Amino acid sequence: MNKRRILAMILTICIITASVSMTFAAETGAVTDVIAKAQALNKLGMLAGDGKGNYSLESNLKRSEAATFIVKLMGKSKEVADKSSQYINTGFDDIKTTDWFSAYVGFCKENDVISGIGNNKFGPNSNVTEKAFLTMTMKALGYTSDDFNWNSVYQKAYDIGLVTGNDYNGKTQDNVNYTRAEVVNIMYTALTLKVKDSDNTLLKQLVNEGKLEPKVVADSGLSDDKLPVEISKVSVQSSQWIKIELNEPIKQLKDTDISVYENLKWTALSAKIISQTDKEIRIKTDAQKAGIEYVIKISNLLDEDNNYVKEIKSKFIGFENKAVKSDLFKISKIEQVSASDIAIYFTHPININAEQPDCYSILKSDETLIEGNKNNISVKVMDGKSDAVILRVKNFTFSQDVEYTVKIKGSLISSYGTYLGQESGDQMNFIAKSIASESFKLVGLVPLNTKSIQLDFNKPINKVTAEQVFSYYITELTIGTPVQIIKATTTSNTYGTDCAVVLTIAGNFDIKKAYGLMINSVSDATKQNKIEEQSYSFNPTDKAISDMKIASIAPIDLNSVSISFDRKLNPKTAEDITNYSVLCLNNTSYNISPVKAVYSSESPNTVKLYFSYNKPMTAGYMYKVRILNTLQDYTGTALTAPLEYTYIANNALKTKPEIIKAAFIAKDTIKITLNKDIALDVPNILTSNYYIQMIGDDNANKMPLAITYIDTNTIVLRFDKIDFSKQFYLKYNEIKDITGETYSGDQVNTAIVIGE
């Protein structure tokens, strides 16, 4: 045999082998597809195998078996079983009432699903043909003999999508060698088709009628859910409260359907459903750890169309109690104070303009629960706070674990002159806690020294009444001699800020005597509760008054220093510039005095001294600050002797005040924040000193209508309405710092940002 013949034989064998392999692969793929469909029907209880995955797909189906298949496809198996005595009498001569399939055939005959083969016979052991099975299947889909006849079976099946392939279009010749595999394909397809005159598929109809469990359908892989349920948003509202929003409505869940656990650690939190609407679930959990990532899992979901979803998950971060921060006037946070009181904080400072009850209302589940008027609500600016009010609801207590909404109208105006939510108002939710209604009371009376006592209250007090010396009356108990009170100062204790008041007397307490205290009238910060005409007694201490000391001095630049003390200061004496003088130790003839002393309640132990711009300190020189004994601490106790402290001036030159930020805080208002303290003086307080200029158009200038000097670092400018679609620079002519030095603004262009 020559080489050419050998090569030809090898090539022929390869081609044949490849052809066989390709044919086998194609057939295997088709069989695998049918097997998958058979397995799906098996899970639905419509097809039984031998338990080993064998469904005899290559064999034919008897007509008696076809009747049972169709009954199961229609979801009528239970009805046939329950009424078997009715259906076993089929009327066919070749079916006995004792035949296992008689009731199935009887049901199908009674419901015009099947007919006999003639001569009053059914032919139960004959193989079902394709046209016969298609007829039964279309009857299961709600079609009747009026919709097709024996000659148009294929055409109708083709038209409704039960069969595919152009060879069915117009076909009439029956297929008498119809296999179980082909039956499986038809049953599987039928489940996905709409029932006649219905928007539901046969599968969906069976689920809606309760003939199939949604979970079973989902497990079979036959679900036709085009919009699976998903978690669209998780809102963490408190350390124990979570709101879950879904993309579509679902049916009621059980507590056991929801689990919450730390991501990757599986440390579970208990979860309880508090409320559920169609697309929203509110749950309460164990206390979450702030900043920790959690997973929330919801199992066994059913949507409105009875589509089953085994589980869905989403992640969230454990609650962190952060207030809203914004340049705009908004609600910052809400804190429950008592069973009937809440503290509402804002992003802008407020004043008595915020005490209008008709601006506020309380909602529950988006329905107004308490209408804002003086009969239902009282509102007071929180004592000691410039950005908060206390709202009290009258004749009402908040229920534990219930979510409420505070809604405030856009007519509420801030100290900056801005309207809440740019006149649209704002609202915020809070979850009510169980807070025992504890009465406002004095919980402690502590002698501090021979001149002062501290009164401790269990709640923040109203500074206006608490700091009036006439609110108290002290007597020596033996003979009732009155003791003059010269100072009443609020301070903090373990109950919180402004929960205590220090009383200082003109002379000294006699430690050998007992004293009585009468509180004439002191109210809490809400101005809703009072202590009136209550008597207490105490024995003074012999503890000597300790003088206030300087803790440190930090030079800021060559024109300013910061002095910190070991206790809080009396604001009035702290800002009295006559209490301070500075001597240069390197040049004793060079003395400087501050032109301004600045005290802030945010740093109550500290005062900043500013020296004239034309009389600075010299870098590296040593200076001695002298503080007169007229300086008082927060109790009103003055120094027994002047204080002195030595420091070295640094080499930091005094810098020009610069605008850190210029932002629109409303559609007609700009807030200017500066890095240095500026003077409450012209030109800073003149409207003619400022203007805005449209970027790209030097001639498009606009001057403010009004100006408000808020503090040494903040100015607010009010304009008429401004087009936010344009960009602007803020410009000024001059700026005067707190030392009195004036700086030109000729070259200063500050881009104005839209408030966030």
Confidence of residue 491 (pLDDT cuts 50, 70, 90): confident
Cis bond before residue 540 (omega within 30° of 0): no
Co-location of 272 and 381 in the same domain: no
- Tell whether 10 is covered by a domain: no
**286 lies in a domain?**
yes
Residues 6+ apart with CB under 8 A from 718: 417, 668, 669, 704, 705, 706, 707, 708
Give domain status of residue 344, yes or no.
yes
Residue 13: inside a domain = no
In a shared domain, residues 188 and 92: yes
Q: Are residues 199 and 260 in the same domain?
A: no
pTM > 0.95: yes or no: no
Nearest CA among 345, 416, 350, 325 for reference residue 670: 416
For residues 40 and 34, what is the distance between their CA atoms, to the nearest angstrom? 10
- Domain end point (choices 483, 509, 538): 538
Q: Which amino acid is it at 576?
A: D
Tokens standing for residue 584? 């240069």
| 519 and 593 co-located in one domain | no
Instruction: Give the tens place of pLDDT for each residue, 394-439.
Output: 889 898 888 899 999 999 999 999 999 999 999 988 888 887 767 8
Q: Is the residue at 29 inside a domain?
A: no
Number of domains in the chain: 6
Counting residues of the chain whose pLDDT is more than 70, the rounded percentage is: 95
Reported as a single tens digit per residue, the pLDDT across 310-319 is 999 999 998 8
Looking at the structure, tell me whether residues 628 and 704 fall in a common domain. Answer: no
Q: Quick check: is 43 in a domain?
A: no
Domain presence at residue 478: yes
Confidence class for position 13, pLDDT limits 50, 70, 90 = very low
Check whether 27 has a pLDDT greater than 70: no
- Residues 202, 118 share a domain: yes
pLDDT score of 393 more than 80: yes
480 and 576 co-located in one domain? no
- φ/ψ (deg, to 5) at 167: -65, -20
Q: Taking 60 as the threshold, does the pLDDT of residue 480 lie above it?
A: yes
Contact between 550 and 565 (Cβ < 8 Å):
yes
Do residues 561 and 624 share a domain?
A: yes
* 363 and 293 co-located in one domain: no
Write the pLDDT tens digit of every residue in 336-369. 888 888 999 999 999 999 999 999 999 987 889 9
On whether both 588 and 638 belong to a single domain, the answer is: yes
532: containing domain: 442-538
Residue 286 has pLDDT above 70, yes or no: yes
Of the residues 188, 220, 252, which one is the last residue of a structural domain? 220
The answer to whether residues 389 and 381 touch, using CB atoms and an 8 Å cutoff, is yes
E strand or H helix that includes residue 104: helix 102-110
Q: Do residues 556 and 619 make contact, with C-beta atoms less than 8 angstroms apart?
A: no
Question: Is residue 87 located within the same domain as residue 190?
Answer: yes
CATH number for 391: 2.60.40.1220
User: Is 36 inside a domain boundary?
Assistant: no
pLDDT of residue 29: 36
What pLDDT, on the 0 to 100 scale, is given for residue 254? 93
* 475 and 508 fall within a common domain: yes
Q: What is the pLDDT of residues 711-747, one digit of tens each?
A: 999 999 999 878 878 889 999 999 999 888 899 988 7
List b or e across 719-729, with b for residues whose CB sees 16 or more CB atoms inside 10 angstroms.
Answer: beebeeeeebb
Cα separation, 477 vs 558, whole angstroms: 56
Q: Which of 619, 648, 677 is the last residue of a domain?
A: 648
